[in-house]
Structure 1
Amino acid sequence: MTRCLLMVLDSVGVGAAPDAAQYGDEAADTLGHIIARTGLRLPALHSLGLGRILGEGDSEAPRASYGRMRERSAGKDSTTGHWEIAGVVLEEPFAVFDHFPDPLMHAIEEEIGLRFLGNHPASGTAIIEALGEEHMRSGRPILYTSADSVLQIAAHEAVIPVERLYAICEAARRHADAWRIGRVIARPFTGAPGAFIRTERRHDFSMRPPRTVLDAIREAGVAVRSVGKVADLFAGQGMTETHPTGSNAQGMRVTEALWQRDEPGLIFTNLVDFDTLHGHRRDVAGYASALAEFDTWLTGFLPQCRAEDLVIITADHGNDPTHHGTDHTREEVPLLVLHGGRSAALGTRDGFADVAASLACAFGLPPWPIGRSFL
């Protein structure tokens, strides 16, 4: 009858991983640098043990167990991080490109009957401003990438309706598998030249993962309810319910509503605004504000948790808004575990898959083959 919440604060890293220099991310520290720049206070997270994670030496005993996790998979993107959290370690990273090769482009364009604009690395907002007017004139979708394994396709909703954009991305996904591209992302936008606005109807089309602990939980007859982009990252695999959201605020509301149903099972939530709206845009003040908003929500949510419940708060990678560039950063992530009224120092875990091992333990499943349970 276990009731569990696994909440991923997208990109809220807590300091450079030992191999960060291999990714150009030495000295990155998403949360530490935001706090240093803004004086941000997060009382609810600190009450659970965040100060201990950050090395602040809080005098009061935390309400939860606390530690860090160090990613074993190669990469620093959302798909890699979430898959490892669910018990899959990628020895070979997803492929990244500074432009997509002609055979891939031609295959997609032939299927959809359109030619793309762009095909180079760019910030999503910048490329829309640069090519949006030409897109509206020609009807050609905008294609671009980043340092992550993503093929992103942007289109104005008045030029290419959202459902048509999704169909284009589904076609791209079929061809992208052979090139080991982690995600194809639909990026609809509206507005006029000089004032384009990306809408909340983003949709991620991921590669299908190998079997994860989510599959094991579902196969045991236990509900797995996803909130936010989680279902997208797993291509819907292992889910019994999916609840897409358009913002952190909506994600928190949906999570709380599901929790208040008081039903056994796993709620797996991703809050993406930290990354999408603030990390990639190097918006320190906005990132701090989003963290404060989450902490306020958490203050009201924690009294709804019983001792027998399991609540895990973590992240999938970093995205230090004070760092160079606009890409993710290779960082360790926080681990806060509320369960049984216990508080223990969990240390630095060797891999995100310790979460998967712990979920298997919590739901009475056979031990997960990767990771070590912290319960």
Structure 2
Amino acid sequence: MAPRQQRHNKEEERPEKVSDVPTPCFLVDLDKLKNNAAAMQSRCDRLGVQLRSHTKTHKTVEAAVILSGGRKKSIAVSTLAEAEMYAANGFDDILYASYNKQQTSQVMCQKLNNALGLFHVMLDSKDGYEALAMAVSDKPWSVYLEIDVKYHRTGVSWDSDGVVALAGLIAGNEAMTFRGLYCHNGDTYYDKGSDALRAAGQESTKVLIEVKNRLLQKNIPCEVVCMGSTPSCSHPDESMSMLQEFSPGNYVFYDLMQKDIGSCQMTDIAGRVATRVIGHKPELNILIIDCGFLALSKDGMENNLPDGPWIIQDNQNLRLVGMSQELGKVTQEEGEIDFSKYPIGSMLFIYPYHACATAAMHPVYYVHSGDSITATWRPTRGW
């Protein structure tokens, strides 16, 4: 086996070329990322809605600057670690897409609310409301009410009496400002093709506007209706112009799942895992690579896709057929591997099934334009 390349420390000079990166590592194609950002912003501009990009996929300052068009405003985060990092780097108008009732989290939210021009939290229960009502802040809390259209994960069921009741409590509390409605329409992940995605977006929009109208009938103002999922925002229906905000996240990198859904093309996928061949097993027709499930994640394996959940770039006949913690097994779908084409130390590039899960495996992203490494980005981790 060839010796593994030494990983670059933060203080060390970054590699100049993609061929020089330590493996396994997460590569970000900067040009594709910028194209994805521009395409999503163009859709929002055409429909007249504000883009509130969700940072959960990349969790980096650098990508958030690009996705916000350099404004450092109007983002959504999934963790307080993200919120604190962005606030410390000059971002404002941050939506924390949750509200944690733990005391330590309440203190962190209080600090963010006092420090930022706009800091929003999200509620979906009376318990959450009561906890927020007891949290002291220098200024009123800005609150989104999360709506469950039909994804059935979090949020108040759209057709329940609880929607109006909870919105009324928030709007009637002098320590709070009712901002509006938020929906993650994750049911679009079960659709296929642009027509189905547009139809799903239209249905979710119709439901959200119906909820908004119910609130208005009760004299509860609803300034913003925000909807997010990369599939629906990648192929938005024209009716989504009735919304005020889009909040997609995965589109920053896209992935094979999004490609299979129809959100993007293969050429839009901006994230890959670089790996090296470290062993040959001719008797088993297998290459051993230095990429295991700690570099790629296991997301997608449960789907039992006929060709597996991953694609090896420019090697459509190769398949990743097994992983342990740090190693992977690659075989050839048809015929025997010509091992001379894959010498020890040669590189392969794997497209992830789910970029959010794969990116979360890596403490640093190697950003490239063409074959040149232009930067290293370090995402925040933890909660």
**TM, length-normalised to structure 1:** 0.28
**Richer in strand (by share):** 2
**TM, length-normalised to structure 2:** 0.28
- Relative contact order, CA 8 A, sep 6+: which one is greater? 1
